[in-house]
A and B are shown apart, each in its own frame.
Chain A
Amino acid sequence: MKAEAGGSIKKRILVVDDEPDFLMAIKAMLEANNFTVLTAVDGQEGLNLARREKPDLIVLDLMLPKMDGYKVCRFLKFDEKYQKIPIIMLTARGQEEDKQLGKEMGADFYIVKSERPEVLLDKIKEFLK
């Protein structure tokens, strides 16, 4: 809401997850918080969309069809044109080793799906301040 109050356009967030219901849940939450949400259901589509639309932030699931989250992250973070877009990696619990790899691939933050939704929302707001 603050983004609007400042007269600027709504921030655009790309969410990539292969579970349509979960995608819808995040989308609903973000829209309720005044963000514009783009969605993709696989890594390839996510990467294409990210390159075409240059969103303000990307929420990226780890296990994705066609191209996994690491790869998408790596492609974007190693490209000057996109490397400034914050990427929040989202994954199921119990993959601490993934967290490390995610960091190495350049993800800016890592959130476990099972955490309360506010955790993700707060982090997004923090990145887009």
Chain B
Amino acid sequence: MAKTKRKIKDRATWLLTLYEIAREVNSNLGLKHCLNSIIDNTVKLLNVERASLMLFDKQRKELKIESAVGISAQIIRKARVKVGEGVSGWVMKTGKALLLNDISKDRRFRPREKGRYYNQSLLSVPLKARGEVIGVLNVNNKRRKQVFTRDDLELLSALANEASIAVYNARLYQQLLSVNERLKELDRLKSDFVSNVSHELGTPLATCRYFTSLMLKESAGPVSQQQREYLQLMDSNIERLTRLINNLLSLSRIEAGRFELRRSMVNVANLSKEVLRTFEGQLSEKQINIEDKIPQNVPEVYADSERIIEVFTNLIGNAIKFSPKNSVISLNAATITKELSAGGERRYLLSSVSDTGKGIAASDLDKIFNKFEQLKTDLPQRERGTGLGLAICKEIVKLHKGDIWAESELGKGSTFFFALPIYNEEEYFLERILDEIKRSRINRSPVSLVVLAIKNFPDTKAGLSADELLSLLFDLETIAKKTVRRPNDIVIRFKKGEILAILADTHKEGAYALGGRVRDMLQNYEFKSSRGPIKLHFEIGIVTYPDDAPNELELLRQVDKILEEKGVRR
């Protein structure tokens, strides 16, 4: 009875240990660590003095000890066992488990050195992964000179099984890592290749373009009617090649994730006008009228102006291409509100370009944003696009966390829409920090945040009328902005009176110096309220990336902490 009880208890311990190992195997992919833990548990569970885990080296065709207990470091370092050699070699070769009660009585294995096997009983089991033997787990010298039992064998096999999984997973993981590295490298090479080729093509093409243009202007002597025609064909084909190269370059950079948005507050009304100017020639040639309905006072969006120009250029270029002569293309922009899947809502600036061309079939509307997807057209070859324009637009808008789509009716025309998020002050601040940190990672330069908070803000606020408060805060913001003069730095004021400045490329010391100067300027300022002059005092806090915080979230958390400590936010 007592024996059965002990057996049950032992079994429970085994299972628990196996469970622990299994957890270790799954949670820790560090192979060495995992194998050590298996050996430790083996020693504990089987109550042995010696245990060793050997793995098979496929190149050298030999077993090598990876983890062991009770064996000298020298043996661990030096022991190499060929397949078929000794106990481990036999297990490796046959893939079978071995339980020997007395090794000296087995003719297959004669101990090479006397005294190496303290006790004659040993257990050796194979490690198998996907039907292949990858190593051997050995134990011997059971304490109290006991011999091994079938239960021990069963347990060791279970441990070996876990070890096999660990080895298999770890090797797989290593392989994945190296394959992943290789793929990254290949992707980089591909992008570099596209980028280099495009770059190398640029200057010869520009040279052709300059000379063609010179000849067309008759700078090199008179040109006959036919020569002019040919030169014009050359010119438009050079134009096409240039476009193709530019597009390939843009797309390769976007795909390589190397596309850095240079965002600032931009007005799409200005950008679209700039783009329209570049199309003046084509517009008058096709006698297309532009109805530019984008109001000059559209809300500004935080976007990369060059990239938004690229989007407008593609959309307006397409509209012109697919519009009949004497037609109208209209541009528009308006604010819309969209509900976010994460809850809440966000305002977007929705810009659109409409034409009265042939329209696009409903089934094609999604496809047109794919790479090299061109719809059937009766346009001559040289007027066709590169098949990349809309794909680029889509990527650009996506990078801006916006959306792009088209609506169309066959025979009536198409409208292309793109929506760009309009951030509120705090979101803008967050986006700015993200951009600065990204830039800082690339340039390996620090970014500092200076937090300036008005002491006793609630008291100050209580003594002022709403208008006075606004005027005061506006003055403070202006002073701070004037003191922080570098174009890449930004100053933002929040509702509760705190002023935050993002200082690009600034170390902590620099930030203290500049922040201190801003604080002095703010404290020198005297606000004339209806109740008399007010002087303010400021608390200052500085957080620097990467010294104080390794990422943007931590950086923001620290800003919050400062504000809390200074009693501005609760």
Contact = CB atoms under 8 A, between A and B. Distances in A.
B15 interface: no
B494 interface: no
B426 interface: no
A22 B206 CA distance: 7
B249 interface: yes
B253 A25 contact: no
Interface in A86-129: 92-94, 96-97, 100, 113-114, 116-118
Interface string A11-33: 00000000101100110110010
B147 to A, nearest CB: 74
A22 B220 CA distance: 16
Given A19-B203, A22-B203, A94-B249, A29 B262 contact: no
Contacts of A92: 198-199, 202-203
A28 B214 contact: yes
B202 A100 contact: no
Nearest to B199: A92
B195 A94 contact: yes
Nearest to B260: A97
Contacts of A100: 262
B207 A93 contact: no
Contacts of A28: 210-211, 214, 219-220
Chain B, interface SS category? helix
Contacts of B195: 94
Nearest to B306: A96
Interface residues of B, number: 26
A96 B202 contact: no
Nearest to B206: A113
B272 interface: no
Contact of A25 (B202, B211, B245, B260): B211
A22 B250 CA distance: 24
A117 to B, nearest CB: 5
A29 B213 contact: yes
Contacts of B203: 19, 22, 92, 113
A119 to B, nearest CB: 9
B262 A114 contact: no
Contacts of B250: 94
B213 A116 contact: yes
Contacts of B214: 25, 28-29, 32, 117
B374 interface: no
A113 B202 contact: yes
Contacts of B205: 114
Interface of B: 195, 198-199, 202-207, 209-211, 213-214, 217, 219-220, 242, 245-246, 249-250, 253, 260, 262, 306
Instruction: List 4 tightest A-B contacts by C-beta distance, closest first.
Output: A25-B210, A32-B219, A92-B202, A94-B249
Given A28-B220, A93-B198, 20 more contacts: A21-B204, A25-B211, A25-B214, A26-B210, A28-B214, A29-B210, A32-B219, A92-B198, A92-B203, A94-B195, A100-B262, A113-B202, A113-B203, A114-B202, A114-B206, A114-B242, A117-B209, A117-B210, A117-B213, A117-B214
